[in-house]
């Protein structure tokens, strides 16, 4: 069984009259270590789909199975633990905490389980070196460039060795050169770590770096290439 199975996910938002149908039986599968891009016009449901796959929102119908488990069957504390343990997120905004150093920010996913141990701190340092921030570990987010903040976000997302890395417009706030660098870093880190990666992007350049491309069209997820 593939590590990630998204099976006929439909999402409707209730309105005063008929419900707004955003996703219509969207399905996709990823094997361990595979990656894919999801493209589509603004408002087509890309973030909605990524949020459902990331267990931040639930489908109206259909299922998501990650490593053989159906996270929507869990109660909220168990779901939060499952999400923290198995899914890493990179958003358009970095969501780094301004009062913490870069290293402390990268350690945040481990803090949910108590104070990070020496091995986890070592892991955070290694990741920061791998994303090119070896000299920036004690800096505050405000002292970094936009591209560097996204690199720190990538390191944070990978800390607990998630099975699945989800990125929603990860280069959307960056200039062209930084966007290209962060895009290639994401793919390099995904390959190095062996995680699955799904990237929602407007950037044809970033989408082209990924092995497969899906497009959302009228709520349907269509494989374009790969």
Q: By the criterion CB under 5 A, which residues form the site for Mg ion?
A: 47
Contact criterion met (CB below 8 Å) for 40 and 215: yes
Number of H helices, E strands in the chain: 8, 9
The residue within the footprint of ligand ADP, chosen from 25, 32, 43, 175 (CB under 6 A), is 43
C-alpha separations of 198 from 46, 47, 138, 192, 219 in Å:
11, 11, 30, 15, 18
Q: Applying CB under 6 A, what is the total number of residues that bind ligand ADP?
A: 11
Measured from the CB atom, is 43 or 226 closer to ligand ADP? 43
For the bound state, the minimum distance from the C-beta of residue 194 to ligand ADP, rounded and expressed in Å, comes to 27
Measured from the CB atom, is 60 or 63 closer to ligand ADP? 60
13 contacts ligand ADP (rule: CB under 6 A): yes
C-alpha separations of 2 from 7, 66, 118, 170 in Å:
12, 8, 33, 25
59 contacts ligand ADP (rule: CB under 6 A): no
Binding segment (CB under 6 A) for ligand ADP, from list 38-46, 89-97, 105-113, 144-152: 38-46
For the bound state, the minimum distance from the C-beta of residue 47 to ligand ADP, rounded and expressed in Å, comes to 3
Binding segment (CB under 6 A) for ligand ADP, from list 36-44, 108-116, 132-140, 151-159: 36-44
DSSP-derived 3-state class of residue 168: strand
Sign of the alpha-carbon dihedral angle for 187, 190, 195, 201: negative
Structure tokens at 209: 């770096």
| Binding-site ranges for ligand ADP (CB under 6 A) | 13, 20, 22, 40, 42-48
């Amino acid at each position: 069984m593939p590590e990630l199975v998204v099976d006929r996910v439909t999402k409707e938002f209730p309105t005063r009259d008929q419900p707004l149908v955003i996703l219509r039986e969207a399905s996709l599968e990823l094997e361990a270590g595979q990656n894919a891009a999801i493209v589509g016009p603004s408002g087509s449901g890309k973030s909605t789909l990524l949020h459902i796959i990331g267990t931040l929102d639930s489908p109206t119908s259909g299922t998501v199975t990650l490593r053989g488990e159906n996270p929507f069957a869990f109660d909220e504390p168990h779901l939060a633990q499952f999400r923290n343990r198995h899914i890493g997120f990179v958003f358009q905004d970095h969501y780094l905490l301004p009062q913490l150093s870069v290293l402390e920010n990268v350690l945040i996913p481990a803090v949910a389980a108590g104070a990070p141990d020496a091995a986890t701190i070592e892991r955070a340092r290694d990741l920061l070196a791998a994303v090119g921030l070896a000299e920036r570990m004690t800096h505050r987010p405000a002292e970094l460039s936009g591209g560097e903040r996204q690199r720190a976000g990538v390191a944070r997302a990978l800390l607990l060795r998630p099975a699945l890395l989800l990125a929603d417009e990860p280069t959307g706030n960056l200039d062209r050169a930084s966007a290209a660098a962060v895009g290639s870093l994401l793919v390099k880190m995904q390959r190095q770590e062996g995680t699955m990666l799904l990237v929602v992007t407007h950037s044809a350049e970033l989408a082209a770096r990924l092995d497969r491309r899906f497009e959302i069209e009228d709520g349907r997820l269509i494989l374009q290439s790969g």
